[in-house]
C-alpha cells in the first residue's frame, strides 16, 4: 500500500526538486490506514505527482469537493486536502487554480455568446460574478 501522509508527499516533492526520478507509485510503506477512497469503489491512481496536482487544481477550480475528487481519480484525500489548504507546493497549486479559473471563465463566456438577448446577458453577469468571488478566495 502507498504512503499517503503529507510528510511523505513533502519528502517526495523535495526529491523531485533535487532532480531525482522518484515518482508517486515508488513511495511505499506499511500504512495501516483505510485507503481513501475505499477499495472497490474506485481505481488506484498511478499518475505522477505533478499530473495529480494539475488534476486536483482543475477540479478545485470547478468547485468539486475533495472527497469527490478522491473518488473519481483515486488520488488520496490527504494529498488533496494538503493542496487545497496550501500545505504542499502552494505557489504551483495557486498558479494552476488561477489558470483553470480563467479558462473556466472563458468557457462560460463562449457559451454565453451562443445565446441571444437577456439569457446571454445573465450568463455573462453570472460568470463574471462567480469569477470575482472565486478570485477573492
Q: How far apart are CA 37 and CA 30, in angstroms?
A: 18
pTM given for the model = 0.63
pLDDT tens digits for range 57-111: 999 988 899 888 888 888 888 888 889 998 888 999 999 998 998 898 899 899 9
Name the residue with higher pLDDT: 135 or 90. 90
The yes-or-no verdict on residue 7 having pLDDT over 70 is no
**Residue 44 per-residue DSSP state:** P
Return phi, psi of residue 76, to 5°.
-65, 140
The yes-or-no verdict on residue 13 having pLDDT over 80 is no
pLDDT tens digits for range 22-56: 343 433 344 555 555 555 555 567 889 899 999 99
CA distances from 50 to 23, 26, 121, 131, 136 (A): 9, 14, 38, 25, 25
Residues in the chain: 137
Q: How far apart are CA 44 and CA 70, in angstroms?
A: 10
Amino acid at each position: 500500500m502507498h504512503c499517503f501522509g503529507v510528510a511523505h508527499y513533502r519528502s517526495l516533492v523535495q526529491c523531485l526538486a533535487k532532480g531525482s526520478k522518484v515518482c508517486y507509485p515508488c513511495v511505499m510503506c506499511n500504512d495501516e490506514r483505510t485507503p481513501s477512497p475505499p477499495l472497490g469503489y474506485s481505481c488506484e491512481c498511478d499518475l505522477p505527482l505533478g499530473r495529480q496536482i494539475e488534476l486536483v487544481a482543475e477540479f478545485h477550480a470547478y468547485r468539486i469537493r475533495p472527497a469527490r475528487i478522491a473518488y473519481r481519480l483515486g488520488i488520496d484525500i490527504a494529498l488533496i486536502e494538503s493542496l487545497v489548504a496550501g500545505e504542499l507546493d502552494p505557489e504551483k497549486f495557486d498558479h494552476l487554480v488561477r489558470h483553470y479559473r480563467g479558462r473556466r471563465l472563458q468557457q462560460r463566456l463562449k457559451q454565453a455568446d451562443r445565446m441571444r438577448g437577456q439569457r446571454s446577458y445573465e450568463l455573462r453577469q453570472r460568470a463574471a460574478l462567480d469569477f470575482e468571488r472565486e478570485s477573492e478566495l
